[in-house]
Structure 1
C-alpha cells in the first residue's frame, strides 16, 4: 500500500508541478512553439554555492506542469551524494490555493562551468535540461532555459522585484533572443 501511495504522490507531483524542464508554449494549431529558435549557450560560469538557496519565479513561458500555479518558488541545496536537491512549489489555482511541491535532484553537466544541469523529478524516467543562461553578478536574478527554446523561467531572490529590475530582466531576456511576449508574470503575495 505504501509503495502505491508513494507512486501516486510522485505522479501527482510530476503532473502538478513537473519540475524545471516543462515550460511549453503552443502555436495556433496546437503544436509546441519555441520562443527562441537559437538558444544561446550560458553566458557565465556559475558559482554553485552562491546560486543555491531560495528563488521566486518572476516570469515563465506558460506550461502544462505549472498551469494554475502562482507564488512559484524553487529551492536548491547541496546533497551528500554530490547532487543538487531541487524543491519546486506553488499555490495551485491562485494565491490562496493549496500549496503543492515536488522534489527532484540535479546533476551538473561536466565541462559546463556549473551552468548546465540535468534535472530529474521522477527517477530516471524524466530528465530535463536546466541551463542558467544569464545571472546577476550578485546572484539576485537568473534567466533559465533549455536547448529547444520552449522553456524559460526568470528567477529572482525578491518575491516582487522592482519595476526597474523587471524592465531590465525583460530586456536581458529579449537580448538572449527570446520572445518576451510569451512570458507570463507570476503572481506573488
Structure 2
C-alpha cells in the first residue's frame, strides 16, 4: 500500500511538472515597447514558414498608433511575380498597459464571422538600438519575424538578429529570407 501511494504521488508530481505554466518555457520579451517609436515601416528580413505568407517574396508592415492606444496594422506582401497584396488589422496589448505582448487581428471574413477567434500573438522579443531592428515571435516559437527599418541589412546585423533568435530557442535553419530587390521583377 505504501508503495502504491509513493507511485501515485510521483505520478501526480510528474503530471504537475508536465502541465506547468507555459510562460516559464516561453521566449523572453523586451518588457516594454514605446509604441510611438515602434510605429512606422518595418521590412521583413526573414520569417519562419507561415501559411498566410506562403506566396510572399518580400513583406513589410506599416504600424500607426491610434488615439485609443491600439496600433493600426497594414501588412504588404510582394509576390515573386511582383504583385502587391495587403492585409489590414489592429494590434492591441494582451494585458492593458503592457506593450511587448500584443494581439493582432486582421480584418477579413473570418474575423468578422468569429470576432476575437482569429487573434494572433505578436511578442516583441528584441529591439535594436534606436528601434532599428526587431525580433517578433509567438510563445510556442512557431512563428518568427526578423525586422528592420531598412529594406536590406548588412551581414553584421543579420548575424546579430540570428544570434538573438537562436538564444530565444527559435529554429533559424528554417528561415525564409527576403528576396533582394535586384531579383524582383520590375513593376
Q: TM bucket by the smaller chain?
A: 0.7 to 0.9
The 3-state SS of whatever aligns with 1:173 is helix
Residue among 167, 172, 175 paired with 1:180 = 172
Distance 2:94 2:84 in 1: 31
Change in 2 beyond 3 A, CA 1:188/1:72: farther
Displacement of 1:81: 3.5
Larger radius of gyration: 2
**Contact conserved, 2:77 with 2:85, CA < 8 A, in 1?**
yes
Residue among 56, 62, 74 paired with 2:49 = 62
How many residue pairs get aligned? The number is 151
Residue 42 (structure 1) aligns with: 29
Distance 2:163 2:28 in 1: 18
Residue among 100, 117, 135 paired with 1:115 = 100
Distance 2:168 2:60 in 1: 23
Change in 2 beyond 3 A, CA 1:182/1:113: same
What 5-or-longer segments of structure 1 have no aligned partner? 1-37
Residue among 147, 157, 175 paired with 2:139 = 147
Displacement of 1:109: 2.4
Residue 127 (structure 1) aligns with: 119
TM-score computed with the length of structure 1 as normaliser? 0.74
Residue 82 (structure 1) aligns with: 69
What 5-or-longer segments of structure 2 have no aligned partner? 1-24, 182-187
Higher helix fraction (1 or 2): 2
**Contact conserved, 1:57 with 1:154, CA < 8 A, in 2?**
yes
Distance 1:187 1:80 in 2: 35
